Every structure is written in structure tokens, then in C-alpha cells.
Amino acid sequence: MGGRSLERAVSLESGAAVLAALRERGWDAVGIDLGDDPGRQLAEAGAGLVFLALHGRWGEDGCIQGLLESLRLPYTGSGVLGSALAMDKLVSKRLFEGAGLPTPRWAFPATLASVRTLGLPAVLKPRAEGSSVGVVVVRDEATLLAQLGGPPAASAAPDAGAGAALGGAANAALLAEVYVAGRELSVAVFGSGEGARVLGTVEIRAAAGHYDYEAKYAREDTEYLVPAPLPAPIDARVRELALQAHRLLECSGATRADLRWSGREDDEPLLLEVNTLPGMTSHSLLPKIAAHAGWSYGELVEAIVADARLKA
């Protein structure tokens, strides 16, 4: 848990909850706040199996997975390939389109010209971050100019606020996507290949209207409806899309696919992305979905452990 990404704080919270659940259920578990020498840390801990509660870059993008494959330590979640494909929003977008999976129109890199061609409102997001870190909804020309036309600025970290400017030097790493007004949906999938199955769905209703970093982890007024109250054809479709995306990206273990739907039954739900190491905090969606499927938090953790293996 922990690590160096902008999602470090969330990862530490996920890791602490997982560690407590494992110990409560009798596992000889050790918490490792990942530093600059993970090989040494793993050896000193006497690790025989690794539960990955990392989020973001270096933890969710195939880097730590490659190290664990080299060390021959079984681990939870997706392998090197699946982790890398899902974490890179540009690559996953191209794969979704190639496979015929519906996704919002997009442009890369995000520039004043490309976003104007795409049209407003639009969403600007880093190419390879999670937890809505650095995601900004641009609704007007003034905001667009402020985000992309200003002086260089770093991508917004959680401590800086999700609405911090993303312009200048960060532009090359930004993806622009048409904003889809409507309902925010997530679908949890568990397993690998043809054995993968959908655990359930959730609809998120953020009081502020946008499910950003603050709504995910800081606010207590975000509503979570499990299962998502959807018309039967739409419910079947979002489940199908999540399962297809999980398999397309070569994922394993537990994933969570995020989608948007306009609310009109003649409109197709649109696939945004797949998260290969979903959060395990008290606010996180995967435990909420699993609970409705009949799994306690501890049972969910043990199911993830039971699925741990080498993938290469």
C-alpha cells in the first residue's frame, strides 16, 4: 500500500482496511508502505503472496506487477499487460473503439483546438491517473482558456484540489472527452477470461453534481444506490459492457468499470474506463457492490486472495 502516486492517501486507507480484515480472519499479514526498494521490503517481510492495495501510477500500471512476476511472488489483481492497458486511458479508448464498445468521443492531446472541435462541455483528465485526480469538467470557453491556455502547472494532486489548473506543461498528458450528462454507473467484475462474472452494479449520485475526488473520499452526502435502479435492458447492457471490457483488457481479479448513461432508454450507456485495483476504503464502490452480492468485507478480501497467482 502507499507508494509514490498521487493516490497514496487513498491507497494507505485501502491497505489499512485490507490488513485489518486479513488479520481478523487469521492470516499472517504484514503491511508494507512501498518505498524505493520494494524487493528488499518484500524479502524482509517474508512475503509469500502479495495483496495489492496500491492505486495509481507505479502500483496499478504494471510496474509492481512486473517486479512480482520477476520475484515469482503470486499477487492479486490483473497482470502486467492488463494493468498497463487499463491504466492508460488513451490505449484503452482505442481498444474499446476497435472492439466496438461504445465510449464518449475524445481527443488527444487536449489542446484549445482539439477541445473546441470536440465541443463543450468536455472533460479533461490525465492519461494515466485514477481516483478522479486532476479531472476537470470544462463547461465554457473561459474555463477552457484557464485550463489549457494559462501558464505551466502540474496535474492536480488531491491536496491541491481536483479543480486546480491543468494547463501548460501538463497538456501533453491530458485526454479530452465529451461530457456525458446523465447517470454515473459502476459495475464490478470478478475473475478472468471466460470465468469472469459480474458481481453487481451501483449508481452514484454526487450532491455537487460531479463525482470528483472530494465526492469520492471527503464528502458524506454522496448517494450510492446498489443495485443501480436501471431499466432491465440498460442494466443488462452495462453488465455486458463491463464484462466485455474486463476480458478485452486481459484483466483478472476484481475490477470496476465506470460508465455514463444519459437516462434515455434509446441511448446507449457509454464506457469510460476500467479500474484494475478498485478502492477498498469505507467509501469505495467494490465493497458496497460485494455486500449486496452477499459478501462481507472479509469474505471479499479472502476471495481476492484466493484468486492471487502469477500471470506470466
Domain map (residue ranges) of the chain: 8-77, 84-102+181-306, 106-178
> Mean pLDDT of residues grouped by 10 in the chain (312 residues)?
93 98 98 96 97 94 97 98 96 98 96 95 88 82 87 37 35 83 97 96 83 54 94 98 98 98 97 97 94 97 97 90
Q: Count other C-beta atoms under 10 Å from residue 245's C-beta.
A: 27
Q: What is the pLDDT of residue 282?
A: 83
Asked if 185 and 202 count as a contact pair (C-beta separation under 8 A), the reply is: yes
> Measured at the alpha carbon of residue 83, what is the angle toward residues 78 and 87, in degrees to the nearest 5?
145
Q: Please give the CATH number for the structural domain made up of 106-178.
A: 3.30.1490
Q: What is the pLDDT of residue 130?
A: 62
Q: What is the pLDDT of residue 283?
A: 85
- Let me know if domain 8-77 sits in CATH 3.40.920.10: no
Q: What is the pLDDT of residue 155?
A: 37
CATH topology of domain 84-102+181-306: D-amino Acid Aminotransferase; Chain A, domain 1 (3.30.470)
* Catalytically active residues, by annotation: 7, 131, 217, 256, 258, 273, 275, 279
The DSSP bridge pattern shows strands 197-205 and 174-178 to be unpaired
- Alpha carbon distance 23, 17 (integer Å): 10
Cell of 55: 492505486
- Alpha carbon distance 47, 146 (integer Å): 48
Please choose, from the candidates 180, 178, 183, 184, the residue with its C-alpha nearest in 3D space to the C-alpha of residue 120: 178
- What does pTM read for this prediction? 0.88
